Structure 1
Amino acid sequence: MDIIETIKNGLDYLDGFLGSADYFPFLLIGVGLFFTIYLGLPQVRYFGQAVRIVKGKYSKSSDPGDTSHFAALSTALSGTVGTGNIGGVALAIFMGGPAAIFWMWVTAFLGMTTKFVEVTLSHKYREKTEDGTMAGGPMYYMEKKLNMKWLAVIFALATIISSFGTGNMPQINNIAQVMNDTFLIPNWITGVVLAILLAMVIIGGIKRIAKVAERVVPFMAVLYVIGALLVIIYNYQNILPSFSAIIGSVFSGSAAVGGFLGASFAYAMQRGVNRGLFSNEAGQGSAAIAHSAARGKEPASEGMVSLLEPFIDTLIICTLTALVILSSGVWKDKHQNTFDRNDMIFVVGEYSDSNESDVKQLQIFLDRKTEKESKVQRFDGSISIQNGEAISDGYTLINARSIAEDVTYSQREEGSLKSQPITGEITVKNGRLENPDIVVEGKSLIHSASLTAEAFTKGFLGENGKYIVSLGLLLFAFTTAIAWSYYGDRAVTYLFGSKGVHIYRVFYVAMFALAAVVDTTVVWALANVAIVMMTIPNLIGIMLLHKDMKNTVKEYWADFRKENPK
């Protein structure tokens, strides 16, 4: 077992106690449901007010803060609208099928209230730093109101880790992957060039970050929406069947179809909630850091602005991505691709995805929680290869949760990206290839940004559709990395003061460049762990302050009616 696989297995083990644990979806949804009822459906009742505030109807330049409401919203959206909207939605469908999208919707709708709460409280307890800028976020209300410095420290440390695991590494990793697939640009070149641009932006702090976000976010959102609609309209006959697949499989799980081996109710729900959180970050507390810089005296007004984020991010953009993937049908088809080492598992015996019994056993096997209950065993031994094709039998190669077809094996030449077909023996241990220099290609399901890019080619633009994904991902993911540098920046400021910010920024840019060439599955595994390390302390904190939240909202409306009599 190599070091990459060891790291991934360790992260997956931690994830089993965090985002993939049975309790987590119920905790996240439960907190959102509690505040939705407790505050009287604020995501519906205050939606119009939120729009008016963003338009600047009640803004005063004399109010304390560093940015406008719109700039704060744009910055926070730039932090949430990223790979979660392009690669994350595709990953949710790939793992949980259409049913996972329903749980993304639930997470977003209830998350509108959760974000309203966390942003209001963070804005209320923000403070001015030694350099004159505003600093806020859950760590400030945890310390100043709850007197729980230890919880604030945990959250701040988790924010720094998440800035790499959520906002930094998955973003550049997906950009590099798509730029390589679309334009054949080597991953390392993409990493270096964008790392330089990233450094140029984040050195200017929140004001420069907000200016970039104000200009880029609206443009990239419109571009992506137009591109998505061109695919959906082209496949208009599949729109209703797509919604039917999402709703019809909510409580039964997604059935096996094509190369997709199916997913249980629990697995689909888990993946949907997890990807929903990764996309809109409601409950994570991250966006609250950006909103704390907004000008304004009324914390609840900024909270209302923030409830627009999950609506835009998930209920609009993620839904469009899902409809593109589902209506095009590419999610259940096998595509020619180069297999990722950590996506491959060799198992004993010959299985077929047209055999119902085989499909059930493989579905159980591929779920980490139920793998031991499956009759499927990992393969150990040698496989004979002749001119790149296997001549041995008695095994099946699973790649990307599907049975691989038309598989070829080649050996990467030393010091080169080229490879030559293998003739000889290859060794498999515990289901994994031992030699990391063996290149495996064939047909299988694909996931993440590659799946979305493939779906965008099934519309009016044809093969040119993938350029929409490439440009959209470049802009989405890059601005996410910019926003997350600010979140980590504020967490470092809270823990170590302003003097630690420069060191953090250098390290942040360096890791951004490095992550362009790191294994994709490891990056996503890190993101899965990091995001929940922030979320759990934040959910605990806002629940403890539920009375404070309700009183803050009451005070806002009382003051608003005095200042704006009918």
Structure 2
Amino acid sequence: MSLNDLVVAIQGVLADKILIVVLVGAGLWFTFNLGFIQVRGFGEGWKRTFGGLFKKSDKAGKEGMSSFQALATAIAAQVGTGNLAGAATAIAMGGPGAIFWMWVSAFLGMATIYAEALMAQKYKQVGDDGTVTGGPVYYIRAAFTGKFGKILAATFAVLIIFALGFMGNAVQSNSIGDAFGTAFGINPWIIGVIIAAISLFVFVGGISRIASLTEKIVPIMAAFYIVGALIVIICNGNMIPKAFHDIFVGAFNPQAIGGGVLGWTVSRALARGVGRGLFSNEAGMGSTPHAHAVAKVDHPVEQGFVAMMGVFIDTFVVLTLTALVILTSGMVGQTDPLTGAAFTGTALTQAGFASVFGKFGEVFIAICMFFFAFSTIIGWYFFGEANIKYLFGSKAVKVYAILVAVCIVAGSAVKVDLIWNMADCFNSAMVIPNIIGLFALSKVVKEVHKDYFNNFKPKQMKKK
């Protein structure tokens, strides 16, 4: 067995078995333990998110970001190339019913990410120079104060630096290079150098430049994609009822819509839907707490409300629109006339947009890919940077920024399966120390949660 085969085998066990149980279990635990906070707190989260969209944000600095800027940075990381390929892959392998299970996983994930945001806020650190930082390494150390905590936190830090900062950003760069090569015939190396240069400019500007960019680019990219997707869906409007029929029926009786031809089963629909949904919205993975930790809020729960909206936007808006584009276009099971292979992944999404936009569908996806992947590069860099500081101190940040830029250039045109598969494997592995830390702090999560509703909120209401 080659090293690549071993990595793929480990990833298969992690993603298809262990993590589904761990992340769904965490979602169920926090959902019931916090009294279905994703329902009770949805209105507050909506108000805080979209209220922040239309008012001037506080300028980000060493002391942190505004609540909306933190959410924008989190969404920048969550809404990546997986939103173009994730729903398509789930549908191709699990049938339309996989989308239903993606919704279920996102609903549960909203409770998990609420808990992550609370702990990231509670245990954030302020350095001697006034710089705010935070993330799972700090609440893991709070949960386990001895040697075990140090090892667990360091393990998480190393995994996320490689999974997102280095390998993950190479993957994102490769996606942009491929898309622009297909749409415009531009050499991927050129795209890689341009992306690396722009990224490095953002990196060296620190937290203020990252926050300023994400709060501008995220609403633009979301609006651009949503409008394009709605155009396709409306043009195929007569297929909308069938699309929803296939999603709900396919979740429990795939043969009723697929006839067994594509091998869809309830177990495959559930596994692919839950798996892709969890990895798309990143709830429980320990990535987005780095952004939520630096938000300037009066109480941790306030950022918990906002964090839930990131999962909602990622899955219930962007991924759902992608799924409807694919299903209403009738491209599921269709083959590429050039290769004869069935459409899957990004190619399936691209085919769905091409059903209305024609050749412009490739251009549209290339533009979306740029926005999604570039914003993810910025978000993932920021998450990795927090862990570089934890392990090596602030002096190592410049070296880290340069290494990430090198990975972006190399990844734009060189795809090595081992590196790509290791990125997925490390991405999966970092969930485990994060969830262990969260479960260990369940009592603290509940205390912070109750403090808001029993003490902080009543005081705020009296002031009004």
User: Match for residue 33 of structure 2?
Assistant: 38
Superposed displacement of residue 17, structure 1: 2.9
Name the CA distance, whole Å, in 2 between partners of 1:457 and 1:520.
Answer: 29
Superposed displacement of residue 564, structure 1: 2.3
Does the CA contact (< 8 Å) of 1:96 and 1:254 recur in 2?
Answer: no
Amino acid across the alignment from 1:123: Q
Does the CA contact (< 8 Å) of 1:108 and 1:311 recur in 2?
Answer: yes
Superposed displacement of residue 524, structure 1: 5.1
Superposed displacement of residue 140, structure 1: 0.2
Alignment of 1:153-168 (within 5 A): 153-164=154-165, 167-168=168-169
**Distance 1:165-1:318 versus aligned 2 partners, 3 A rule:** farther
Gaps of 5+ in 1: 338-441
Alignment of 1:166-315 (within 5 A): 167-253=168-254, 261-315=262-316
Alignment of 1:387-402 (within 5 A): none
The structure carrying a bigger helix percent of its residues is 2
Name the CA distance, whole Å, in 2 between partners of 1:26 and 1:77.
Answer: 25
Question: Match for 1:444 among 331, 334, 341?
Answer: 341
Q: Secondary structure at the match of 1:168?
A: helix
Alignment of 1:106-125 (within 5 A): 106-125=104-123
Superposed displacement of residue 257, structure 1: 5.1
Q: Across the two proteins, how many residue pairs are aligned to each other?
A: 455
Superposed displacement of residue 7, structure 1: 4.9
User: Match for residue 422 of structure 1?
Assistant: none
Q: Secondary structure at the match of 1:307?
A: helix
Higher mean alpha-carbon deviation, 295-304 vs 262-271, is at: 262-271
Superposed displacement of residue 519, structure 1: 3.1
Aligned: 1:9 with 2:5: yes
Name the CA distance, whole Å, in 1 between partners of 2:236 and 2:261.
Answer: 20
Question: Match for 1:547 among 433, 438, 443?
Answer: 443
Superposed displacement of residue 119, structure 1: 0.9
Structure with larger Rg: 1
Superposed displacement of residue 562, structure 1: 0.8
User: Match for residue 29 of structure 1?
Assistant: 24
Q: Secondary structure at the match of 1:285?
A: coil
User: Match for residue 402 of structure 1?
Assistant: none
**Distance 1:265-1:258 versus aligned 2 partners, 3 A rule:** closer
Identity across matched positions, percent: 40
**Distance 1:241-1:73 versus aligned 2 partners, 3 A rule:** same
Superposed displacement of residue 98, structure 1: 1.4
Gaps of 5+ in 2: none
Q: Secondary structure at the match of 1:16?
A: helix
Alignment of 1:279-428 (within 5 A): 279-337=280-338
Q: Secondary structure at the match of 1:318?
A: helix
Question: Match for 1:477 among 373, 379, 384?
Answer: 373
Name the CA distance, whole Å, in 2 between partners of 1:254 and 1:450.
Answer: 25
Q: Deviations over 1:148-202 (max 9, x none)?
A: 2221111111111221477412211211111111111122221121111111111
Question: Match for 2:395 among 496, 499, 518?
Answer: 499
Q: Deviations over 1:97-119 (max 9, x none)?
A: 21221221111111111100011
Superposed displacement of residue 254, structure 1: 6.3
**Distance 1:182-1:208 versus aligned 2 partners, 3 A rule:** same
Name the CA distance, whole Å, in 2 between partners of 1:541 and 1:47.
Answer: 25
**Distance 1:552-1:330 versus aligned 2 partners, 3 A rule:** same
Name the CA distance, whole Å, in 2 between partners of 1:523 and 1:332.
Answer: 30
Q: Deviations over 1:333-384 (max 9, x none)?
A: 01134xxxxxxxxxxxxxxxxxxxxxxxxxxxxxxxxxxxxxxxxxxxxxxx
Aligned: 1:77 with 2:64: no
Superposed displacement of residue 90, structure 1: 1.7
Name the CA distance, whole Å, in 1 between partners of 2:169 and 2:62.
Answer: 30
**Distance 1:255-1:26 versus aligned 2 partners, 3 A rule:** farther
The structure carrying a bigger strand percent of its residues is 1
User: Match for residue 458 of structure 1?
Assistant: 355
Question: Match for 2:45 among 50, 55, 60?
Answer: 50
Superposed displacement of residue 260, structure 1: 7.0
User: Match for residue 525 of structure 1?
Assistant: 421
**Distance 1:171-1:64 versus aligned 2 partners, 3 A rule:** closer
**Distance 1:210-1:64 versus aligned 2 partners, 3 A rule:** closer
Q: Secondary structure at the match of 2:337?
A: strand
Does the CA contact (< 8 Å) of 1:165 and 1:523 recur in 2?
Answer: no
Does the CA contact (< 8 Å) of 1:108 and 1:314 recur in 2?
Answer: yes
Q: Secondary structure at the match of 2:272?
A: helix
User: Match for residue 460 of structure 2?
Assistant: 563
Q: Secondary structure at the match of 2:332?
A: helix
Kindly report the root-mean-square deviation, in angstroms, between the aligned alpha carbons of the 2 structures.
2.4
Does the CA contact (< 8 Å) of 1:122 and 1:288 recur in 2?
Answer: yes
Name the CA distance, whole Å, in 1 between partners of 2:427 and 2:390.
Answer: 19
Superposed displacement of residue 28, structure 1: 1.0
Name the CA distance, whole Å, in 2 between partners of 1:182 and 1:534.
Answer: 35
TM-score by length of 2: 0.92
Misfit runs of 4+, over 6 Å: 59-64
Amino acid across the alignment from 2:424: N
Q: Secondary structure at the match of 2:286?
A: coil
Name the CA distance, whole Å, in 2 between partners of 1:256 and 1:187.
Answer: 40
Name the CA distance, whole Å, in 1 between partners of 2:3 and 2:405.
Answer: 22
Q: Secondary structure at the match of 1:294?
A: coil
Q: Secondary structure at the match of 1:560?
A: helix
**Distance 1:62-1:183 versus aligned 2 partners, 3 A rule:** closer
TM-score by length of 1: 0.76
User: Match for residue 103 of structure 1?
Assistant: 101
**Distance 1:468-1:505 versus aligned 2 partners, 3 A rule:** same
Name the CA distance, whole Å, in 2 between partners of 1:120 and 1:485.
Answer: 22
Does the CA contact (< 8 Å) of 2:196 and 2:408 recur in 1?
Answer: yes
Q: Which has the higher contact order (CA 8 A, sep 6+)?
A: 2
Q: Secondary structure at the match of 1:457?
A: helix
Name the CA distance, whole Å, in 1 between partners of 2:60 and 2:98.
Answer: 46
Superposed displacement of residue 51, structure 1: 2.9
